[in-house]
Amino acid sequence: MRLYVGDRSGNCHKVQLFLSVLETPYEEVRMTYDDRSLKSADFLAKNPRGQVPVLEHEGRYVWDSQAILVYLARRFGGERWLPLDAFGMAEVMQWLALSENEMLYGIARARAIRTFGEEGDHARAVAIAHRGLAVLERRLEESDWLALGRPTIAEMACFTYPALAHEGDIDVGAYRSVVAWLGRVRALPGFVAMPGM
């Protein structure tokens, strides 16, 4: 199994974290952003979007961090990480949706603007980030975990960007339940950090 990743990528970290928690061995292939390697014909055959992460397993490719989390959960994690019953699966998947919306367009965008110098409206990204953090806070005031009362791929999807929020000049300190949850995720067996955490 190979995982194509890029440096300082929060989306790649989600997958790296889950593979480590699952204790699933893999080969890491580091891609660079400045030599057009992501736009080469070879890489576009793996992911037509030209983005990392991409998982290669048994001659097939899965791209997008959320899709890879689902694949790994189904393939290696069993019911524990992503249940098959309709309501349980929906409960987990709604947090993946938060990860791909408020976390991405909020915290991740603010981080890209402040840390990597990308263009964008930082104030708007911060406002979106706080909306997402407020949703997390309300949930985590009621439960230690986002779904099903236990760690699931919801944690893998939603952890990374709040843990890097400071890189986007976003203070999560006021979200006490989120801060406590970040600590619980860090305490999971197999947890791995990334630069900036």
pLDDT digits (tens, 9 = 90+) for 99-119: 999 999 999 999 999 999 999
Query: With bands split at pLDDT 50, 70 and 90, how would you rate the model's confidence at 34?
Result: low
Question: 125 vs 26, 34, 109, 144, 168, CA distance in Å?
Answer: 34, 25, 6, 27, 9
Q: What is the mean pLDDT of the chain?
A: 96
Report the pLDDT averaged over residues 88-96.
Answer: 98
Q: How many CB atoms lie within 10 A of CB 92?
A: 23
Query: With bands split at pLDDT 50, 70 and 90, how would you rate the model's confidence at 140?
Result: very high
Question: For the chain, where do the domains classified as CATH 1.20.1050.10 start and end?
Answer: 80-186
For residue range 165-186, what is the model confidence (pLDDT) as tens digits? Answer: 999 999 999 999 999 999 999 9
pLDDT of the residue at 35: 58
Whether the Cβ atoms of residue 82 and residue 89 lie closer than 8 Å to each other: yes
Task: Tell me the pTM.
Answer: 0.96
Give the fold, CATH level 3, of 2-77.
Answer: Glutaredoxin (3.40.30)
For residue range 63-78, what is the model confidence (pLDDT) as tens digits? Answer: 999 999 999 999 999 8
Q: How far is CA 11 from the centre of its chain?
A: 5
Q: d(Cα 10, Cα 115) in Å, to the nearest integer?
A: 13
Q: Which strand (E) or helix (H) includes residue 27?
A: strand 27-31
The contacts of residue 46 (CB under 8 Å, 6+ apart) are: 4, 54, 56, 61, 63
Give the fold, CATH level 3, of 80-186.
Answer: Glutathione S-transferase Yfyf (Class Pi); Chain A, domain 2 (1.20.1050)
pLDDT at 37 over 90: no
Q: d(Cα 143, Cα 137) in Å, to the nearest integer?
A: 10
In the chain, the percentage of residues whose pLDDT exceeds 90 is 95
Question: For the chain, where do the domains classified as CATH 3.40.30.10 start and end?
Answer: 2-77
